[in-house]
């Protein structure tokens, strides 16, 4: 468990995995999907398969979990996560999703994302961390900048959202750069 000013980052347990499934597949409004890769068609899967997949991919590295739950007042509100881009160069992509829109603009995103970056770099197995987003997700771009990430690539009009084209944006931070920001 990692504490932050308004809650904790916690390992996924059965209740949290059920809550995550609800927010990803059953919650009616699906507001988070309007920002988190709305150009990606996410296949619907049953809860059992979803939980099995989470369990199978629980660890990104020895004793380092790939996803942690963002908890406030004992309630699941979102996740921070990671996945390999290239194990040979120790490059992870990371992300944050706050599913419960009641907690958007609550000033926890920057704190939680910085804690996630600090946690991963301190585990000393990764050389670089990056994000991939789209130019319409201005909050994610601003968040990445606040934690020291730099824009590294912009692919023009590579994402289509609601019939409008947006740029694909990649941002990143090297461990060496993080030491100047995070320590």
**Tokens 């597949």 sit on residue:** 25
Q: Measure the CA–CA gap between 93 and 75, rounded to whole angstroms.
A: 26
User: What DSSP character marks residue 42?
Assistant: P
Confidence of residue 105 (pLDDT cuts 50, 70, 90): confident
User: Contact, 9 vs 72, CB < 8 A?
Assistant: no
Confidence of residue 181 (pLDDT cuts 50, 70, 90): low
Check residue 107 and give its pLDDT.
84
Asked if residue 183 has pLDDT above 70, the reply is no
More confident residue, 180 or 182: 180
CATH number of 2-182: 3.40.630.30
Q: Measure the CA–CA gap between 147 and 93, rounded to whole angstroms.
A: 14
User: pLDDT digit string (tens) for 116-161?
Assistant: 999 999 999 999 999 999 999 999 999 999 999 999 999 999 999 9
Check residue 53 and give its pLDDT.
95
User: pLDDT digit string (tens) for 38-83?
Assistant: 888 888 899 999 999 999 999 999 999 999 999 999 999 999 999 9
Interhelix angle 47-56/14-21, nearest 10 degrees: 120
More confident residue, 84 or 181: 84
Least confident of 83-87, 91-95, 102-106: 102-106
Q: Measure the CA–CA gap between 156 and 169, rounded to whole angstroms.
A: 9
Cα Rg, the chain, nearest whole Å: 16
Domain definitions of the chain by residue range: 2-182
């Amino acid at each position: 468990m990692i504490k932050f000013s308004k809650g904790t980052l916690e390992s996924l347990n059965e209740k949290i995995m059920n809550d995550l499934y609800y927010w990803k597949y059953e919650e009616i409004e699906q507001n988070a999907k309007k920002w988190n890769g709305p150009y990606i068609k996410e296949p619907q899967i049953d809860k059992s398969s979803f939980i099995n997949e989470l369990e199978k991919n629980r660890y990104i590295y020895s004793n380092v979990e790939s996803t942690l739950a963002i908890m406030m007042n004992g309630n699941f509100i979102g996740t921070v996560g990671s996945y390999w881009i290239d194990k040979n160069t120790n490059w992870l992509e990371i992300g944050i999703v706050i599913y419960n829109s009641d907690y958007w603009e609550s000033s926890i995103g920057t704190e939680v994302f910085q804690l996630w970056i600090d946690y991963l770099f301190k585990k000393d197995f990764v050389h670089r961390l990056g994000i991939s987003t789209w130019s319409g997700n201005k909050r994610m771009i601003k968040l990445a900048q606040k934690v020291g990430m730099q824009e590294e690539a912009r692919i023009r009009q590579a994402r289509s959202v609601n019939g409008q084209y947006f740029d694909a944006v990649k941002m990143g931070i090297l461990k060496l750069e993080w030491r100047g920001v995070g320590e």
